[in-house]
Structure 1
Amino acid sequence: MSISKSNRPSLLRRILILFAVLLAIVSVLVAGTTLQAAFSHSEQQLLKRFETSQQVFTYKLLNDASTIKGALNSAAKDFNTKQLIASAQDDPESLKLALINLQNRLNTDFTIIFDEQKRPLTATAESVNLELTSILDKEVQLLVTSKTIYLIEFEEVRFLENQPNPDAWMVMGMDISRIIDSQVRELTGFELSVVARNKTYTTTNKEYLKIASELSRLPLQAAAPLMVGGTEKYSYHFGFNSIQSEPISLVFSITESSAYLNFFKLMWQLIVVVLVSILIAFFLAFYFAKGVTRPLRQLSGIANKIQVGEYDTEVPSFNSQEVNNLSEAFTAMRDAINHREQRIEKLAYYDELTGLPNRTAFRQQLDKKISTEPNTPCAIMLLDIDRFTEVNDTLGHEFGDKLLCEISRRMQGFQPKHAFYSRVGGDEFAILLNNLSDFELNTQVEQFFSFFEIPFEIDGVLLDIDISAGVALYPEQASKSEALIQAADIALNKCKASHKGFVVYDKTLNTHSIQRLNLMSELRSAIETSQLSLYYQPKLDLETNQIVSVECLVRWIHPEHGFIGPDDFIPLAEQTGAIRDLTKWAIQTALSQHKSWTEQGNFFRVAINISALDLIDLSLPAYVAQQLSELSLDTTAITLEVTESAIMSEPDQAIRALDILKRMGIKLSIDDFGTGYSSMAQLKIMPVSELKIDKSFVLDLATNEDDATIVKSIADLAHNLDMTIVAEGVEDKDSLEKLKEYNVEQAQGYFIAKPMPADDFNEWYSNSNYRPR
């Protein structure tokens, strides 16, 4: 594990960022809260200004209306005005002239005189259409016309002061544009616009002439931004009703920058304060973080040195108690790591029991040799102690460990120049022989074997130890260390299997091993995909000269490797447990073929080989019974052949299984008799009725007197035990005659016929001389 720089932010940067972020959050919260409060206060103040301005403008309207009202009252009481109104029918122009003079003095725009029937008597402006009945007695009376809006007032005229009913009415109006002028803007601080009938009648600023189109978005007595003339204006809406009961809207407006001038000033001031605070805090945090991280950076540098193995690096002390504690912990950690690394290195590269380098160290040494001297030949030798498990089981593991240590000492005492020893497994050692020629190889290996000829004395016990060795050569047999070790291991396995002293690797060994692994994985699928078939070799009854039985032999026709002999795949089936499925398939197939022959009028007992695993599996008798029942066959249809070695591997269980089969009425036969280790006592109790003499005694029967003696003895023994005899491996007529002479009941071999598929067997049998006559 290494300590390296990464893209992760440093502690200094994290502290700075943390301080900056915290200060920014606090500043933003404070500023936000302050600005929000300031903005709300500004809005409230602005709304109060709007409401105050509304009151001021209303007061101005009332004041102007009061002025007009007072002038009309004075004129209505004036004798000359009364006289002109009374004679208006005869002299209207004099009245009109007097009214115009009055308008000019008051700066109004029209005057209308109504008679006692409330009909217009005379008017100074013909364009004003007004009915006296629409005028109400309220504070502000506004008249809306197509062109303008008037502030109007009226007064009753009585020719005699005390009469109850007026004789006429005087109505005067002032254009509202005279009232809404720059004085209003200066007085209120806002632009003012008057809107009625969806159009702007007058405004203090021409930019607001289009405000009527936006007014629908702003309710009465409310303030909100309105888009006017392409810019946003903050506006306040209030209004009156005209004497025609039409709504008249008045809108105060102000630019947003002017409306919130104080707020924006405060906002910028606050922003400057926040930025300055953040800057100051950043420098303070930087200074503080520097003080915190400086000792940490020093310790980090020391850790990097420890990483590369510089354990003598001095760890400084610090003023801060916490950091000094960390420094002391670093010192303790450095010493502990140094100690553990030495311990780990020893455990990783050396065998704890013998002190020799282990498999890892051997692999590294071999890699180093190949990489630094790629053109220099060398060899590796794997040694394995024969029967070491027996030593452990007999004398104990502690004794076995002492033996391994003694072997290691003896090997190291003999260690030749340029050799590297290691213990790579329980009882397995590896030796690297550098700069070795083919001639030197045999000499070196023989020397290694020679010092195992001397017995080992352990705790007063003398032991003769034998070894097996596998040798592989570089670069002749492998160019990489892993392949070279594998080659030596394959050679060692071959050596142990063949009981030779040592075996030098050959590529055919590896090919054979790979093929075996492939076959082990493919065997089950071969059963399921019909790659297997049964071949039938006939057995001849020597008395009747007729075929009475056939031995069923499994053959594997592999789609890639072609024909695979039973000696290659039967042991694999026993190793993987597939032999049970193979046996069941053979029984089912053989009995089906027997039934087919029986239906054709030929009765051939089928003999099927079973293994030791089949005997251990007590479900075999039930399976045989099931197949016989399903095919409606009796037990005379089948013979089960089992080898001596299969019975002797688990004699008690095997005999129990054979007893069950015999009680079922199934004929049992011992195959390859004479090659196993069964005793006469065991043969006597075996529930078998037939012995098959191994072909090794029959092949040279006619010419070899020893084979003849053995065959005759086996035949006599079997007959004395009430068993029949089958001889296999009959290759000539003379051997067949000898078997007849020894009263052997049946024979099989290539002289009679070779194993054949069922169709070929049928054809051969139909043309043979071994049919019933």
Structure 2
Amino acid sequence: MFKSFRSQLIAMLVFFLAMIQLISGTAILDTIKRDSLEQAVKRIDVTKKVFQLTLDNRSKNLSVGVSLLASDFGFKTAVATKDGATIRSSLENNALRVGADFGILLSPNGESLQSTYEMVHSSDFTHLLQNKSRRRNINGFIEVDQKAYQLVLVPVRSPNLVAWVGMAFQMGSDLAQEIKGITGLDISFSSIKQQAANEQSVGNYATTLESMNLGPILDNFIKQGVNADLTLFSDDERYLTSAVQLDLDNHWALLHLPYNSWIQNINEVTNRLIIIFSIILTLSIILSWISAKRLLKPIQTLVSKAKKIGRGEQVEIEAQAGEFGVLSRTLSGMQKRISKREEELSFQASHDNLTGLKNRNAVENFLSLNLKAKEGGVLLINIRHFKDINNMMGFENGDILLCEFAQRISKLITNQDEVARLAGDEFLIVFKSQFNEITLANIHQSLQGEFDISGSKVCLQVCMGALFFANQDDMTVNGIMRRVDISADEAKQSENGIAIYEQGQDESHRRTLSIIRDLPESLASHQLFIVYQPKVNIQDRRCHAAEALIRWIHPSLGFISPAEFIPLLERSGNIQLVTKWVIEEVCKQQSNWLREDMQIQVAINLSALDLIDLSLPTFIKSMLEKYAINASQLAFEVTESSVMEDTKTVIHVLNALKKMGFKLSIDDFGTGQSSLAYLRDLPVDEVKIDRSFVHDIDTNESNALIVNTTIQLSHSFGFSVTAEGMENIGGLSILEDYGCETIQGYYFSKPLKSDEFLNWQSSFSYSSDEWWVEKSMEK
């Protein structure tokens, strides 16, 4: 609703006009209501004065009639002689003559001597005779039988005051009708008395209203608290009522002004205003619609053209004047910029920003269109050591080199072929034309020539992985890209930097991916398990330690050698997951062996990634606590190459493990870089000589010399020595002569599962001497 600007503009104009009319109408009606109420209140005030004058006139007329009776000699004589019959007859005659409701004769003290109305009591007059002059007439109101009466008392003297004679008029319907006839207002006489804390009794003894109309009015007065200043509307607003208090407690005269005529006038004015405002509003809507249509036509034209521009259409925008001219010129300029931007985006979507060559998406699209070709192929090119060149020459010169390199590649292909930069220093050529080993060699030679970069001569070395379309079974874009990537990896490892994809390499690559992908599941499904290879102390001929080794039986690949999957896990970053699993499994097994009273130290291998994990000591500590074992039951082995990764962090972690009480060993000593460079700085306890030097020590004098030198050097540093790969009695004797403390190898045992190791340990420990002699005789 109101989505278009024209609708919103019309709605806004109509809304403001309606609000103005509403405010104006409300103000007019409020003024009329206020004036009507003021006139009504003034009329009630006039009626109050008329009501008071009427009462005063009645009092004066009554006083004259009563005074004649009080001065009558016969009446005075009857009062003096206490002639009750004469007094009563005189009172009745006089009341009839003046139109009073009853007559009464009182003693000077206010006691009732004679009355024509039996309900009168002496107490009804007490408030009138108090503090009143004994020489004057008394005018006032009394309550008799819960009704108000206007009373005039005149003194009877003979010559002194001998009595009071009075006449009373009820405040009743006759008086109400008389006042209504004069003023046109209804009148009610009511008594309102307090009964309890929150209760009042209401007595209505005369009214010109119907009783059904009077009840709600009295209720409103009671709720508001009756007082002479209170003027209220009835619930239906038919009457406006004001109270006049009689000179008598709890008795009121209520003046009711019919308000219907005022209400009708207000309603008529309201209806006229609604009609007038509706006509004005309707005309305004029509005029606004016509005006908006005319004014907004240029905008609608521009909106239509803008929508077409948004759909990519080219439109002609006419020049206009004023603000619409500014808008049309802006829209025209925007169309040109959008068109230019689309061209740029289209180019960027398919080209490399730096070299201007096609990008991966574009070259893969090109490749998908040429998969059925019988000749041709793809060539993936990498620049060797480009990162070092970039760091040495600077990023700006590095970018220049890439551009020069891209231009040289472009000159080596035909118009039918396509070249792209995939990322960094990686380029791909898709040959639609002939592509063979000769082409491959020529390209390799051309790209390894000199490049002149900012006056500096740079000779590049490149490695290239190639794939020929002929005889390829998986002719999909993903399959081709995966295979050429495999050949590029092979090229990086080759001496001449060239490799051609051969059938079967893809399967090897898939095996590698399967190993990396399946590791997490293998841990959960117990495909991996731990075996333990004994480490025998040849000095006391006992087995006090073992090395924990991992084995993997894959459900589809079968047995996977640790030499195959551990390097893959290290490259993929999953080795830490395996290491923590091994630590927990070994701790769990040590806890089981403790319950069987078996004491042995188990060594666990740590990788380079493990040794830069500062949280590793905390994890190991948590495992010790979880399985209730101590640090002497575990040892950790690290390789020389792992120490070289981040020496400072590695030494920090090793020191932490050393402080926790773990034995630390350098594994595969002699095969890494700078074999002795870090020995003096590492907090290790043992050196393990690699099996490549030990397995043929009895027949290879060079290896024997290396082993002997390593043992003596290690002892000079205070390290014990373990020889790995011991497989015959001859080598055992030599190692014993050299002073080697511990032997690990198939001569004693292959790696065993935990239950097999327990059985081997028991038999070896209890009969080690006999076993040693028997083993020597077998050899």
TM (normalized to structure 1)?
A: 0.69
The residue matched to 2:172 in structure 1 has which SS? helix
Is the 2:464–2:491 Cα contact (8 Å) retained in structure 1? Answer: no
* Superposed counterparts of 1:462-611, under 5 Å: 465-469=462-466, 487-488=482-483, 491=486, 495-496=490-491, 499=494, 500-502=499-501, 506=506, 509-516=509-516, 519=519, 534-536=532-534, 553-557=547-551, 565-571=561-567, 575=571, 576=573, 610-611=639-640
1:299 counterpart = 2:302: yes
- Once the two structures are TM-superposed, the CA of residue 13 in structure 1 deviates from its matched residue by 2.8
Deviates more, 1:445-454 or 1:510-519: 445-454
What residue number does 1:336 align with? 337
Task: State the Cα deviation string for residues 275-309 of structure 1 (Å, max 9, x = none).
Answer: 45544544454455444533222222111111111
> Could you say if the C-alpha distance between residues 66 and 360 of structure 1 is closer, same or farther in structure 2, counting changes exceeding 3 Å?
farther
Contact kept? 1:381, 1:488, Cα under 8 Å:
no
CA distance in 2, matches of 1:254, 1:644: 123
Identity %: 18
Structure 2 equivalent of residue 315 of structure 1: 317
Deviation at 1:67, TM superposition (A): 1.6
- Count of aligned residue pairs for this structure pair: 677
Shift in CA distance, 549/496, structure 1 to aligned 2, threshold 3 Å: farther
Which residue in 2 is equivalent to 1:241? 247
Is 1:754 the equivalent of 2:742? Answer: no
Between 1:260-269 and 1:455-464, the stretch displaced more is 455-464
Give the C-alpha shift of residue 364 in structure 1: 5.9
Indicate conservation of the 8 Å contact 1:520/1:572, yes or no. Answer: no
In 1, the alpha carbon distance for the partners of 2:276 and 2:535 equals 110
Residues 1:471 and 1:389: Cα distance change in structure 2 (over 3 Å): farther
TM-superposed deviation, 1:254: 3.8
Match of 1:58 in 2: 52
Counterpart residue number, 1:424: 422
Residue in structure 1 matching 2:690, options 671, 677, 682? 671
The letter for the 2-side match of 1:754 is: K
Please give the per-residue CA displacement for 1:715-768, whole angstroms capped at 9, x wherever unaligned: 4677799979999767789xx699989x99999764664234653552464567
Q: 2:551, 2:562 within 8 Å by CA — same for their partners in 1? A: no
> Is 1:253 paired with 2:256?
yes
The alpha-carbon deviation at position 325 of structure 1 amounts to 0.8
Q: 1:623 to 1:37 in 2, by over 3 A?
A: closer
Deviations 1:446-494 (A, max 9, x none): 6874663553456588877541147999998698x7x658745764575
**SS of 2:149 mapped into structure 1:** strand
Check whether the contact 1:570–1:579 (CA below 8 A) recurs between aligned residues.
Answer: no
AA aligned to 2:404 is K
- C-alpha contact (below 8 Å) 1:580/1:613 kept by paired residues: no
CA shift in 2, pair 1:571/1:15, >3 Å: same
CA drift at 1:192:
0.9
Matching residue within 5, 8, 11 for 2:5: 11
CA distance in 2, matches of 1:47, 1:268: 25
What residue in structure 2 maps to residue 177 of structure 1?
172
**Contact kept? 1:455, 1:464, Cα under 8 Å:** no
Displacement of 1:329 in angstroms is: 0.9
* CA separation of 1:22 and 1:382: change in aligned 2, threshold 3 A: farther
In 2, distance between residues paired with 1:669 and 1:200? 122
Work out whether residues 540 and 547 of structure 1, in 8 Å CA contact, stay in contact via their aligned partners in 2: yes
Partner of 2:381: 384
> 2:240 is paired with a residue of what secondary structure?
strand
Instruction: Judge conservation of contact 1:494–1:503 (CA < 8 Å) in 2.
Output: no
Q: Deviations over 1:258-279 (max 9, x none)?
A: 4655555554455455545544
SS class of match (1:201): strand
Change (3 A) 1:341 1:232: same
Question: Per-residue CA shift, 1:534-593, capped at 9, x if unaligned?
Answer: 42366989xxxx96999965412569879764314543565549689969979x999999
Deviation of the 1:423 alpha carbon? 3.2
Asked if residue 223 in structure 1 is aligned to residue 230 in structure 2, the reply is: yes
CA drift at 1:194:
0.4
Name the structure 2 match of 1:111. Answer: 103
| Preserved CA contact (<8 Å) 1:551 1:608 | no
Does 2:684 correspond to 1:646? Answer: no
> How far apart, in 1, do the equivalents of 2:685 and 2:66 lie?
149
User: Deviation per CA, 1:110-129, whole angstroms, max 9, x where unpaired?
Assistant: 23355789776665444545
Question: Which residue identity does 1:468 align to in structure 2?
Answer: G
Please list, as runs of the form range in 1=range in 2, the aligned pairs for 1:11-410 lying within 5 A after superposition.
11-77=5-71, 89=83, 92=86, 100=92, 102-113=94-105, 123-129=115-121, 135-136=128-129, 141-146=140-145, 148-157=147-156, 164-166=159-161, 169-177=164-172, 179-196=174-191, 198-207=202-211, 208=213, 210=215, 212=218, 215-217=221-223, 218-225=225-232, 233-242=239-248, 246-254=249-257, 257-258=260-261, 260=263, 262-310=265-313, 312-319=314-321, 321-362=322-363, 383-385=380-382, 387=384, 389=386, 392=389, 397=398, 398-410=400-412
The match for 1:437 is: none
Relative to structure 1, is the Cα distance of residues 489 and 465 closer, same or farther in structure 2, using a 3 angstrom cutoff? Answer: closer
1:535, 1:554 within 8 Å by CA — same for their partners in 2? Answer: yes
Residues 1:607 and 1:356: Cα distance change in structure 2 (over 3 Å):
closer
How far does the alpha carbon of each residue in 1:505-546 deviate from its partner, in whole angstroms, 9 at most, with x for none? 7466335325325649999x99xxx975642366989xxxx9
SS in 2 for 1:754: coil
> Tell me, which stretches of 5 or more residues in structure 2 are unaligned?
193-201, 453-457, 602-634, 714-720, 775-779
Structure 1 residue matching 2:690: 3-state secondary structure: strand
Structure 2 distance, partners of 1:414, 1:115, is 146
Q: Which secondary structure does the structure 2 equivalent of 1:174 belong to?
A: strand
Q: Is the CA contact 1:317–1:327 (under 8 Å) kept in the aligned structure 2? A: yes
**Aligned position for 1:455:** 446
Instruction: Give per-residue Cα distances to partners, 1:331-355, cap 9 Å, x unaligned.
Output: 1111111111111211122224554
* Length-normalised TM-score, structure 2: 0.69
Q: Read off the aligned partner of 1:200 and give its amino acid letter.
A: N
Q: Which residue of 2 aligns with 1:612?
A: 641
8 Å CA contact 2:487, 2:500 repeated in 1: no
The verdict on how the C-alpha distance between 1:185 and 1:745 changes in structure 2, with shifts beyond 3 A counting, is: same
C-alpha change, 1:212 and 1:462, in structure 2 (3 Å) is closer
Question: C-alpha distance in 2, partners of 1:655/1:560?
Answer: 39
Distance change (3 Å), C-alpha of 1:204 and 1:234: same
Tell me by how many angstroms 1:29 deviates: 3.8
Q: In the aligned structure 2, how far is the partner of 1:568 from the partner of 1:327?
A: 70
**1:328 Cα deviation from its structure 2 partner:** 0.8
Assess, with a 3 A threshold, how the Cα gap between structure 1 residues 463 and 219 changes in structure 2: closer, same or farther: closer
Contact 1:299 1:327 in 2 (8 A): yes
Q: CA RMSD in A?
A: 5.6
Q: Which amino acid aligns with 1:155?
A: V
Contact 1:16 1:289 in 2 (8 A): yes
Stretch deviating more after TM superposition (420-429 or 573-582): 573-582
Amino acid at match of 1:510: R
Letter paired with 2:750: K
Structure 1 contact 192–250 (Cα < 8 Å) conserved: yes
